[in-house]
Amino acid sequence: MEPISFDTHPDRYTRWKLSFDGPVATLAMDVPEDGAVAGDYTLKLNSYDLGVDIELADSISRIRFEHPEVKVLVVTSLKDRIFCSGANIYMLGSSSHAFKVNFCKFTNETRLYLEDLSAHSGVPSIAALNGTASGGGYELAMACDHILLQDDGNSAVSLPEVPLLGVLPGTGGLTRLVDKRMVRRDLADAFSTVAEGVRGKRAIEWRLVDEIAPRSKFEESVKAAVAKLAAGAKERTGKGVALPELSPKREDGRVEYQYVSVEIDSEKRVAMLTVRGPKDAPAKDAAALREAGAENWSLRAFRELDHALLNLRFNHLEIGLFVLKTQGDLNQVVVHDQKIAELSKSDWFASEILHLQKRVLKRLDLSAKTSFAIIEPGSCFAGSLFELALSADRSYMLDVDDGPKLQLSPLSFGALPMSNGLSRLETRFLATPERVQELRGREDALDTETAMELGLVTFAPDDLDWDDEVRIAIEERSAFSPDALTGMEASLRFAGPETMETKIFGRLTAWQNWIFQRPNAVGKQGALTLYGSPERPVFDYRRT
């Protein structure tokens, strides 16, 4: 199988048509039947595979960065009487277990990115369902702010995974149904077990959609919904900033970007990710930041890290451990953070950079990989880059005279929240929240002894024990069961309050991971395996 590429551009989209009409962006799904990313399956009825979400995620980024004039996004379909029939079942049935779970995770991250577009960029979205929306198609609709369903006696919304496939709506469908749309539990139960779904007035009564319109008035109703949402949308002035492709260099297990490098050791199942800090001073004001555009360190470095994380997630399943390192000047990272924090209060572009950093760090949090931060001389774990160490499952900081330092910045205190809604410092000090307030006054560089006293690192070996202790920790971790580690890490990383986001990913990690391996779904006589054949699935009816 060829490596999956996450590089794309609207000029090369084959599954979506992205268009702009003043303040309105329209994203219309039109999946070609022969548009599979990899595998021998046909994408009928706007069913989708990973390629649809790669283009969807890219389009959301471009709306945020390149088109500040947009006030409303309309998500619809170019196919008559069909919006989207969801994830392609034959793709799921023929994919490896790891791919299925990673596919569901990336799809959900993209849905959340769409919701973030509304919450933080002020660009609400309308799902204009000009036909049936099933499974992942309805899940995409639920990620939008307003759902308008064509009332033609045929178009319906449905989550048919339980009755048809023996699995669950894997991109947060059940969670959004009751947590976001607040559908009554009993009605949600009935809806989720009726394969043909719900249409018309009942869809309104059950809170499954917000509005229905007959076919003859559908376009008129879409325009009215757009006008209503646009009236309350944020104003983002100024020119957009183009996002060029990152084009890393690849050779012999190494991927090299401008600010990020990845070294892959498949035999040891370890990837070393090094993020380099900025060399130049930050932009002086919003105009200069816009002039630097996508080459600004705060944006470019985190785009590269995101690209690297996705590549490792999908194309290097053997890698179980990330060794996180940084290189550069602590102070330079801090002054770049300070400028982004200052400008983000009034400038949309700086704000978008901040939200992209937040999203990338969440991607790291949600990776089914162990991560160890290695803090040594020459490191620049400061501010936004110190978040890497706080995200890590453990951190090791060398204890020597004139050794490495850590430093906090304005971005350390809530600007880059985790999925639980807390900062990484708040999550770390859940039992002692006063510690976070004390740290707000620490603007100095912190040596190893101080970092240990403050609880900011896990271990601090001296130079005599450093090499052996780090080596043994890496070797030991790589020898543990990857299944046990994935479950352990997912349980430990998100202390504190539950959110819709933590529920979605916690359930995905546990339930979907488990169900995708059960014979009732993927065995020789499982529902997912036999879908489309004349044979009926055979279930083991014992519950566990």
DSSP 314-329: HH-TT--EEEEEEES-
| Tens-place pLDDT, residues 342-392 | 999 999 999 999 999 999 999 999 999 999 999 999 999 999 999 999 999
Instruction: Count other C-beta atoms under 10 Å from residue 174's C-beta.
Output: 23
- Closest by CA to 330, choosing from 285, 383, 286, is 383
> Do residues 147 and 127 make contact, with C-beta atoms less than 8 angstroms apart?
yes
For 406, residues 6+ apart whose C-beta sits below 8 A from its C-beta are: 330, 375, 381, 382, 386, 389, 397, 445, 446, 451, 456, 457
Strand order through the sheet with 24-29: 16-21, 24-29, 72-77, 125-129, 146-150, 211-213
- Closest by CA to 531, choosing from 44, 7, 146, 5, is 44
Give the per-residue pLDDT at 256.
98
> Do residues 383 and 408 make contact, with C-beta atoms less than 8 angstroms apart?
yes
Regions of the chain with pLDDT less than 70? 1
Give the per-residue pLDDT at 1.
62
- Closest by CA to 330, choosing from 391, 417, 404, 438, is 404
Give the per-residue pLDDT at 509.
86
Q: Which amino acid is at 188?
A: A
Between the alpha carbon of residue 98 and those of residues 104, 147, 313, the distances in Å are 10, 32, 10
Q: Which amino acid is at 25?
A: A
Give the per-residue pLDDT at 39.
82
- Strand spans (E) along 377-522: 394-397
Instruction: Return left, alpha or beta for 412; rule: phi > 0 is left, psi -120 to 50 is alpha, else beta.
Output: alpha
Q: Full-prediction pTM beyond 0.85?
A: yes
Strands 125-129 and 81-84: what pairing?
Answer: unpaired
Give the per-residue pLDDT at 188.
98
For 101, residues 6+ apart whose C-beta sits below 8 A from its C-beta are: 368, 508, 512, 513, 516
